[in-house]
Structure 1
Amino acid sequence: MGTEDKQLEQNKQEEPLTVLSRSLITGFVGGIVFGFLGIALYYFNFSEVTPKSYLLRSWIIADWTDSWLGNTLSIIITGLLSIAVTFIYYIFLKKIETFLMGGAYGLILWGIVFYLLQPIFPNVPPLVDLNAYTIVSTICLYILYGTFIGYSISYDYNEAVHKLKAKEERK
């Protein structure tokens, strides 16, 4: 009886993650990676703003927000917010197979963050007061982020659809 149970356990396969769950994981990882890149842009003086300027310094005035703890916390918050951004892309744009849509999505996100939401971030200068390096580098960062999120989700979704069609054709 014990060998039969072991044989049954060996034949069990792990349930694969759904496309949505893989997309949300991609969003979290993308938020972490691109949040870190945003801090690197600030550190190397390519940008006047950092993720903590938006996520922490606008609401919390404390010394620890300027330390490694503030950077780490802002990267984690960026990853969590990126899950919501990824979910929106998944709902509306997952069927579009081109990487250009991801880049356009990144540009739209940049416009939302730097133009529409700017009034609620008192610690961040208005768009017209930012220097050209900040504008260009953050636009590039958001385009890369949007491309990463968009192409990853679209590729994964379309790959799952093709596998499902191939499986149905074999029946």
Structure 2
Amino acid sequence: MSENKQLEHNKPENTMSLLSRSLLTGFIGGILWSTIAIFLYYFNFVEVSPKSFVLRSWLKTDWTDSWLGDLVSIIIIGLLSIVTAIIYYGLLKKVKTMWISVVYGIILWGIVFYLLQPIYTNIPKLVELNTNSIVTSLCLFILYGTFIGYSISYDYHDTQVEQL
């Protein structure tokens, strides 16, 4: 066997497609950043817990205030995060700059805290939140958007280079 064929034979195959890696990135991003958001809530950096959005707006039971409510909300946010990854993958994966990911996080923050606020009846309006909550949650969403967006874009461009 020639040396080139030997090298190709020893090269590990990429078992996951770019889309499936993007979905996994979305899920992991949701899990990671919602866990950090819960810690920020417990340490009083933000007034609103992630479980207030995904659980407490619809369920008024005791278990939603416990660690089980936190765990369920982290998993739900991880699953919802797959949708944000699909949107980024479909619209922005070819963009090479990190700044579009930052803007994506800001847009997501605006959607959650401004556009969807009427759905969350137990969440204070944006103007009623203190400055620390607004700044911390905005920074958290920027980091979340950057994690999802830049990871997907980097993976897309890395895959393009490998195929050349």
Give the TM-score normalised by structure 1.
0.88
Larger Rg: 1
Runs of 4+ in 1 over 6 A off after TM superposition: none
In structure 1, how many angstroms separate the alpha carbons of the residues matched to 2:86 and 2:22? 8
The structural deviation recorded for 1:14 is 5.6
Mapped pair 1:19 → 2:4: no
In structure 1, how many angstroms separate the alpha carbons of the residues matched to 2:135 and 2:116? 18
Per the alignment, residue 83 of structure 1 pairs with: 82
In structure 2, how many angstroms separate the alpha carbons of the residues matched to 1:154 and 1:68? 35
Per the alignment, residue 106 of structure 1 pairs with: 105
Task: Report Cα offsets for 1:138-170 as digits up to 9, x if no partner.
Answer: 0000000000001100000000011111xxxxx
The one-letter code of the counterpart of 2:42 is Y
Compute the RMSD of aligned alpha carbons: 1.4
In structure 2, how many angstroms separate the alpha carbons of the residues matched to 1:151 and 1:77? 22
Superposition map of 1:49-68 within 5 A? 49-68=48-67
- Secondary structure of the structure 2 residue equivalent to 1:22: helix
Q: 1:108 to 1:47 in 2, by over 3 A?
A: same
Mapped pair 1:70 → 2:66: no
In structure 1, how many angstroms separate the alpha carbons of the residues matched to 2:122 and 2:28? 26
Q: Which residues of structure 2 form unaligned runs of 5+? A: 1-9
Task: Give % identity.
Answer: 60
Per the alignment, residue 152 of structure 1 pairs with: 151
- Secondary structure of the structure 2 residue equivalent to 1:49: coil
Give the TM-score normalised by structure 2.
0.92
- Secondary structure of the structure 1 residue equivalent to 2:15: coil
Per the alignment, residue 41 of structure 1 pairs with: 40
The structural deviation recorded for 1:15 is 5.4
